[in-house]
Amino acid sequence: MRKIAAGMKIALGALRINKMRSALTMLGIIIGVAAVIAMVAVGSGAEERIKQQIASIGSNVIIVLSGSITSSGIRMGTGNAQTLTEDDSRAIAKECDAVALAAPTSRGGVQVVFSNNNWGTQVLGTTPDYMAIREIAIEEGQPFTNTDVDAAARVALLGKTVITNLFNGEDPVGQVIRGCLLAQFAGLQIHRASRDMT
């Protein structure tokens, strides 16, 4: 016990004599520990973000893209050639026992207009099965149906960003919007991971 007390006395004396060196050593240790804690926190945050992105796609979802095209020697990339049809989607669902649902999609950009407001956004044309595959819920209004698809009904589901920028607080359900075509607003879509589709 006396040896421990004597050792502590010598150590404290050395710290008092070399105050600047002691302060710099402590500062180095504090910065080092803080850097390790920050790196672990950043790594954990990145890991959570990646897990959320994978969960938003779905852990059991396979996405099939159409082929690419080459124009004047330039490869345009996957998905530019329209080689897949709705019949392909039906065939996959019918002939592959491991597939529970299949939904064809077609995506493009459009400027949507309501009253005097307009907003540029992405349009996704699909079938009701897409809602189940991607686990998308409707917050207001109603989802579109297979009857709407078969009749080529002009209905749309909008995300929160479009509603905020287009409707200025008005109730959007039942309103008519203009874009590449006139469409009646059917419902507000909300992703399960609270990710907003603009």
% of the chain exceeding 90 in pLDDT: 10
Task: State how far the Cα of 30 lies from the Cα of 128, in Å rounded to an integer.
Answer: 56
Q: Which amino acid is at 50?
A: I
DSSP H helical segments within the chain, as ranges? 2-17, 19-57, 86-95, 129-133, 146-150, 160-167
Confidence grade of residue 192 (pLDDT, cut at 50, 70, 90): very low
Among 75-89, 91-105, 122-136, which stretch is predicted with the lowest mean pLDDT?
75-89
> Could you tell me whether strands 176-178 and 155-158 are parallel, antiparallel, or unpaired per DSSP bridges?
unpaired
Give the number of other Cβ atoms within 10 Å of residue 141's Cβ: 20
Tens of pLDDT, residues 45-83: 999 888 887 776 666 777 777 766 666 766 666 656 677
Angstrom distances, CA of residue 186 to CA of 66, 141, 170, 178? 29, 6, 14, 14
Tens of pLDDT, residues 124-143: 888 888 888 887 888 887 88
| pTM metric for this prediction | 0.57
- Which residues are within 8 A (CB) of 127 and not within 5 positions of it... i.e. 6 or more apart? 89, 103, 104, 146, 149
Contact at 8 Å (CB) between 56 and 190?
Answer: no
